[in-house]
Chains A and B, each alone.
Chain A
Amino acid sequence: AQTVTQSQPEMSVQEAETVTLSCTYDTSENNYYLFWYKQPPSRQMILVIRQEAYKQQNATENRFSVNFQKAAKSFSLKISDSQLGDTAMYFCAFTPNTDKLIFGTGTRLQVFP
């Protein structure tokens, strides 16, 4: 079975600091895609970053970057220079190239001033 595991239910970080959210997944596929989505209290799911499994280079989007370790099936999200607006639930998600997303259980991130 294909699963996504987020082992940190809650995290907190001070404004301007760096925080890393963990995600592991299980699949027998070789080609797949990984995502981090953000869901603020407004509940709109927003795509943060996307990684293609066949690309070794880690994806980056401004203050957001990933550490993709394919052999370890690990896909962590690093948020640099944290801002109050980063407070949200963060979901790691996986698709084995079928367009169906499998979500982890989420990590609630609180950014403190």
Chain B
Amino acid sequence: SAVISQKPSRDICQRGTSLTIQCQVDSQVTMMFWYRQQPGQSLTLIATANQGSEATYESGFVIDKFPISRPNLTFSTLTVSNMSPEDSSIYLCSVVLRQGRNIQYFGAGTRLSVL
């Protein structure tokens, strides 16, 4: 497996502000993903973070709202922009260590509350 560090672990933010969440892995990984888990719900994929190019977003998620960076094979950020209370969720990053193994390992998540 891998050690996946997510920061911050939680935050309380004001409406209209932005928050950047960091995901750091202790080894190079082939793929990185960002998920949203709304209160009491399952996980929904936001986007695939591509190293050196624009992220691939799932239906219902757009770059202006959730800009993602992945400057190298061990690090990615997700920004939640212009936040509203509906953005209150847990945001998780996950990684695939080796392509073809199809196993995703998850960070501990960031619990975001928007007032």
Contact = CB atoms under 8 A, between A and B. Distances in A.
B102 interface: yes
Contacts of B63: none
Contact of B42 (A35, A46, A50, A106): A106
Interface hub of B42, B48, B92, B107 (most chain A Cβ within 10 A) = B42
Nearest to A4: B42
A91 B103 CA distance: 14
A97 interface: yes
Interface in B63-115: 90, 92, 94, 96, 99, 102-109, 111
Contacts, number: 49
A103 B109 contact: no
B41 interface: yes
A93 B106 CA distance: 14
A104 B42 contact: yes
Contact of B105 (A33, A47, A99): A47
Contacts of B109: 43-45
Contact of A99 (B43, B102, B111): B102
A22 interface: no
| Interface magnitude class on chain A | 20 to 34
Contacts of A45: 43, 92, 94, 106, 109
B23 to A, nearest CB: 13
| Interface magnitude class on chain B | 20 to 34
Given A43-B109, A99-B102, A99-B104, 16 more contacts: A33-B102, A35-B103, A37-B106, A44-B109, A45-B43, A47-B104, A47-B105, A50-B102, A50-B103, A91-B42, A95-B102, A99-B96, A100-B48, A101-B43, A103-B44, A104-B42
The 10 closest A-B pairs by CB, nearest first: A45-B106, A33-B102, A103-B42, A103-B43, A44-B108, A105-B42, A43-B109, A99-B96, A99-B31, A95-B102
Interface of B: 31, 33, 41-45, 48, 90, 92, 94, 96, 99, 102-109, 111
12 contacts: A33-B102, A35-B103, A37-B106, A43-B90, A43-B108, A45-B43, A47-B104, A91-B42, A95-B102, A101-B104, A104-B42, A105-B42
